[in-house]
Amino acid sequence: MIDNTSEPKPLVVNCPICGKPVAWRAENACRPFCSERCKQIDLGAWANEEYRVPASDSDPSGPNGGDAVGAGGAR
């Protein structure tokens, strides 16, 4: 017989810093990290500009003069 009264198993992801499995639960304030330590390591990497968000190429001769914010925006 199947027991449908138990809670569903939470999604398990790997910590992006150390790779340790982490249950994705609301009680885990550090998610997707396994600990406050890994969370702080990641924050430090962002602060040291070790991560980069890819930028799109802009055309300076285009209608927005190379404005990467968006076309047709209010000025």
pLDDT tens-digit readout, 1-60: 565 667 788 899 999 999 999 999 999 999 999 999 999 999 999 999 998 888 876 666
Peptide bond into 32 cis (omega under 30): yes
Beta strands, E only, 1-75: 12-14, 21-23
Phi and psi at residue 60, to the nearest 5°: -60, -25
59-74 residue pLDDT tens = 666 666 555 555 555 5
Structural domain spans, the chain? 12-47
CATH architecture of the domain with range 12-47: 2-Layer Sandwich (3.30)
Strand pairing report for 12-14 and 21-23: antiparallel
11 CB contacts (<8 Å, ≥6 apart)? Answer: 23, 24
